[in-house]
Amino acid sequence: MVVLLTNDLMFQSRVSGAVKAAGGTLAVERSAEKLAEKCENKASVRLAFIDLSLQTLELETAIPHLKSQFPNARVVAFGPHVDVQRLADAEACGADEVMTRGQFDRDLNSIVSA
């Protein structure tokens, strides 16, 4: 299972397609707390994607929350390349991998199928 924090419906569709093509399922929310509530089998979550464009998301609490709720998941944060501070903040808050949105979009299929 893959989880995604975003409010971008168009990009959500792109991620959903990649996850389905890899044989997985996707859960999407706008808050880490709601996302954790939505997932019954937290141990089955292998990837947690965070869209850093979701400005209401407080990385200092969201990333540790995801890591504690989904202990088997790799947390991957992605955002606009021009938002250097937000990318750095995600890394400082404990994201396992941080990349630009372009990198994420380009590598999405390989990330999901790995």
Domain boundaries, the chain: 2-113
pLDDT per position as a tens digit, 5-14: 999 999 999 9
Whether residue 105 has pLDDT greater than 90:
yes
Q: b/e map of 51-61 (b: 16 or more CB within 10 Å)?
A: bbbbeebebee
Rg from Cα positions in the chain: 13
What sign does the CA torsion over 83, 85, 86, 92 have?
positive
Euclidean distance between CA atoms 55 and 40, whole angstroms: 27
Does the pTM surpass 0.75? The reply is: yes
Residue 33 CA from chain centroid, whole number: 13
Overall CATH class of domain 2-113 = alpha beta
